[in-house]
Amino acid sequence: MGGKFILLFFFALLAVAAQGQRLRHIDSLRQILDTLPEGKEKVFLLKEIAWAYKTSHPALAHRYAGQSLRAAQSLKYPGGIADAKHTIGMIAWHQGEYDKASRNFFEALSIRESLNDSLGLSRSYNNIGNVYFRQGAFDKAFYYYNLALGMRRHLKDSIGMAYSLNNIADVETERNRYNAALSKYRRALELTTTLKDLAGQAFTHERIGMLRMRQGKAVEAAAEFHLALGLGRQAQDANAVARNEARLGNAYLEMDSTARAVGLLRNALAASRKIDARELQADALELLSEAYARQGHYDSAFYFQKEHHRFYLSLMDAERERVMLSIQEQYESEKQRANLLESQRRASRNQKFLYIAVLIGLSLVALNIVIRYRFQIRLTQVLQEKNQEIAQQNESLLQSNRSLEQFAYVVSHDLREPLRTIGSFSSLLARRYQDKLDQNARDFIEYIVMGVGQMSQLLDGLLTFARLSGQQAMLREKTDLNNTLAQVLSALRSEIRQKNATIQLDFLPTLQAHPAQLHQLFQNLISNALKFNDKENPAIYIGYHKNGEGHHFFVQDNGIGINSRYFDKIFLIFQRLEKQQYSGTGIGLAICEKVVEQHRGRIWVESVEGKGSTFHFTLPDD
């Protein structure tokens, strides 16, 4: 593109990437912009200015990114269009507009794939991973993060590698693999420290802090958030500053240091409003309500809880529109699928007629050559048309599954938020008027809070079931089921101790499997064995042997048992046989069946009422 563009590229890169100097050079970049004619150089510089503004001044960032996009479109410059869409997506992501961000990420990815733009693709793949991570589709997120990491290693893009390592560690954290996550976080920290990338260091310390909070180590988490906050300030990253003020405030809440928490959360609220980071605003409002409630300042607690609820309602119209779009896409996909199936049936009938024609042709030797030739031409056309229809159908089904997964996520999110509001206000009522409520009123509030908790569990189960139902392929890996079972028993340690249960284990094999799904399978079965048990000393046996079907596992208990007439029903969603005495959602065993089906196995139960149950499942030997 010429020496001028190369010089401009390095100047813009220096101005945008140098953490402490970033915003100081914006005026210089804008002065250069005014001297440039319409062309690719101007597209690039507009995008770089938008990138520099993305966390601190999102409105300006959107303006410059939009100008970059329009300029690239007028030039018919696909690389510039992809870069502008990627930048628009990142600005929206920082504002919490995840649907808008996702659309732009996928559009940028499509263009970059057609251009075979390795650097751009590595960025797009990482952001697609973020989209799936946000939806809780951790396997897909893990796949795209690793894809991006591999490309970045090949390109020797150290900053990009650091962010991919952080993202992969986030997935490991969600899978409760804390040691693996910490190892990757520390590797990312080494890279960003060597590169003197302050924003990258802040990001990594923040992620480590979140892991420590997940482990219940609030003091260690606070130290990490404090480091991240200082580094974010040095980097002039307004979004990082607001995030870490909120996270540090939450850590202080966990340590019962409410006065310090309130100050930080107020700062986070003001900063998030300034940069229009909507999810951060919602989090800060809710945490402020909790902080004031702990201080006994219930009027302030009610005020911030109402503000949180009002803020949430202001976003509901956009969410509802997105839900309706998902429903419409699902409907159109199903309609298209039905049309394709009907077309296939017609093609099948045509083939039958053609086969009959072949038989007739074979009996008519004189006309055999001509008829067979024409038949082959027609058959080839039919097969080509059918293959095209099948390919279209597969793509339609993939789109439908993506829409269904997004729909499940949105429904879960939108229903959970009102539940949190109900639970929060109920808890505030109980605290504020504790001395003024009679026993009936306190009981009523307790029932409300319990109902909110049960509904939240139900939504979690529904979302898990929906993801399993829509999953077409699994990323399998070598899985030591002894380690999986150890993690499950560790997670259920308090329930086992409370029930005074004894657990007997067989030695389990190592298989190619989906580790998170098998973790869920064992956890659901063992949790049920503990829950549905009325004995003073519950006994659970997790057994294994190899047979003709492959690997045969079972979970045996001495609990309440199940009547044989319910054996087929218990694996159906929402089927709860003991609704009064035992809590539950009626989804756990349906999830178990889905997991086993995903692994091409089968599951069944043997039981005698009053004497216990044995849940068997098989996994193929492959």
Kindly state the tokens that stand for 80.
């510039």
Q: Report how far apart, in Å, the C-alpha atoms of 267 and of each of 35, 158, 311 are.
A: 40, 33, 18
With cut-offs at 50, 70 and 90, classify the pLDDT of residue 210: very high
Q: Which position has the higher pLDDT, 141 or 324?
A: 141
Around Cβ 196, how many Cβ atoms within 10 Å? Answer: 11
Return the SS3 of 514: coil
- What percent of the chain lies above the pLDDT cut of 70? 72
CATH superfamily of 477-619: Histidine kinase-like ATPase, C-terminal domain (3.30.565.10)
With cut-offs at 50, 70 and 90, classify the pLDDT of residue 193: very high
Please report, for the chain, the start and end positions of each structural domain, with discontinuous segments joined by +: 3-211+272-294, 318-470, 477-619
Return the SS3 of 613: strand
d(CA 306, CA 421): 9
Instruction: State pTM to two decimals.
Output: 0.62
- What percent of the chain lies above the pLDDT cut of 90? 24
What type of residue sits at position 407? F
**Gyration radius (Cα) of the chain, Å:** 29
End-to-end CA distance of the chain: 54
Task: Give the 3-state secondary structure of 522-572.
Answer: HHHHHHHHHHCCCCCCCEEEEEEEEECCEEEEEEEECCCCCCHHHCCCCCC
CA dihedral 264, 268, 270, 273 (to 10 degrees): -170
Please say whether the beta carbons of 530 and 577 come within 8 A: no
pLDDT of residue 233 exceeding 90 = yes
pLDDT of residue 29 exceeding 50 = yes
At residue 383, the pLDDT reads 57
For residues 109-135, average pLDDT: 87
Return the SS3 of 76: coil
At residue 184, the pLDDT reads 95
Kindly state the tokens that stand for 597.
């089906």
d(CA 338, CA 332): 10
d(CA 325, CA 329): 6
Task: Give the 3-state secondary structure of 206-245.
Answer: HHHHHHHHHCCCHHHHHHHHHHHHHHHHHCCCHHHHHHHH
Q: Report how far apart, in Å, the C-alpha atoms of 257 and of each of 198, 206, 254, 287 are.
A: 28, 20, 8, 13
Lowest mean pLDDT among 117-121, 260-264, 400-404, 618-622: 400-404
Please say whether the beta carbons of 5 and 38 come within 8 A: no
pLDDT in tens, 428-462: 777 777 777 788 877 777 777 777 766 766 666 66
For residues 40-45, average pLDDT: 86
d(CA 302, CA 49): 42
Q: Which position has the higher pLDDT, 26 or 167?
A: 167
For residues 398-424, average pLDDT: 62
Beta-carbon contacts of residue 449 (< 8 Å; ≥ 6 apart)? 423, 426, 427, 430
Kindly state the tokens that stand for 57.
């001044």
Return the SS3 of 256: coil
With tokens 């004031």, the residue in question is 292
For residues 355-374, average pLDDT: 47
Are the folds of 3-211+272-294 and 477-619 the same?
Answer: no
For residues 348-372, average pLDDT: 47
d(CA 519, CA 512): 14
d(CA 19, CA 323): 39
DSSP state of 175: T
d(CA 398, CA 333): 10
What type of residue sits at position 382? V
Q: Spelled out in words, what is the top-level CATH class assigned to the domain 3-211+272-294?
A: mainly alpha
Q: Which position has the higher pLDDT, 33 or 336?
A: 33
Cα 191 to chain centroid distance, Å, stands at 26
* Mean pLDDT taken over the chain: 77
Please say whether the beta carbons of 69 and 81 come within 8 A: yes
With cut-offs at 50, 70 and 90, classify the pLDDT of residue 133: confident
Around Cβ 254, how many Cβ atoms within 10 Å? Answer: 15
For residues 309-326, average pLDDT: 56
At residue 219, the pLDDT reads 94
Q: Report how far apart, in Å, the C-alpha atoms of 8 and of each of 24, 32, 40, 47, 80 are.
A: 17, 9, 11, 13, 16
Kindly state the tokens that stand for 585.
């959602």
Please say whether the beta carbons of 409 and 135 come within 8 A: yes
At residue 576, the pLDDT reads 54
Strand pairing category for 502-505 and 539-547: parallel
- DSSP symbols for 434-474: TTT--HHHHHHHHHHHHHHHHHHHHHHHHHHHHHHHH----
Around Cβ 110, how many Cβ atoms within 10 Å? Answer: 13
Strand partners, 479: 511
Around Cβ 88, how many Cβ atoms within 10 Å? Answer: 26
With cut-offs at 50, 70 and 90, classify the pLDDT of residue 234: very high
Nearest Cα to Cα of residue 242 among 233, 251, 234: 233
Angle formed at CA 114 by CA 111 and CA 119, multiple of 5 degrees: 75
pLDDT of residue 183 exceeding 90 = yes
CA dihedral 401, 402, 405, 410 (to 10 degrees): -140
At residue 191, the pLDDT reads 94
At residue 570, the pLDDT reads 78
Strand partners, 596: none
At residue 135, the pLDDT reads 74
Kindly state the tokens that stand for 281.
């605003």
